[in-house]
Structure 1
């Protein structure tokens, strides 16, 4: 994924081995990264056990938030592709019996959100 693509809000698939090394302190000893997508500094990581959303905060990105969502707690998810007037694509994830989505991720590209939705479907349903 190029820098321009990242700045436009397009997520791109990134090397799972590199992400696994980067998240070594967060992952369990037996946990493996199956797929990872990067969005500028942030990451959407699919392991064999959970979904990890990595949010680098601030100008320097030193402060980092790691949101961990076990696949068994994801009750449903929704993809909304972009249209003529609404240019953003969205992926919404609900946890257990929550009424509102626990997480809403926005993308500038339908291609990005569809690839991430496929990885999520494989992890949750497969």
Structure 2
């Protein structure tokens, strides 16, 4: 297991395995809310950046992810649609597979224009 430091937080991630996007999709389908671990950095960023989104866990547990980008062996960027104008971005790190444990590293709101490409002819 490798250690990823993130602004004072130490997050142990399972970087012994090179996880795929398919692995993340399967983990998200089967994860229990108790196994979503919020880092101190995540909590402070959530409170500062998007306090109006009370329960990030609901997005992860109940909403369909509209995009996943692999950032490292065990770190991924998840994209959830908030509304037509904004997406919720959640950076996660996989801690373990059995049981599925995921660290929530940070989160922020982003314009959906960065994800959705409009037809230039329209």
TM exceeding 0.5: no
- The one of the two structures with greater contact order (alpha-carbon pairs below 8 A, sep at least 6) is 2
Q: Normalising by structure 2, report the TM-score.
A: 0.35
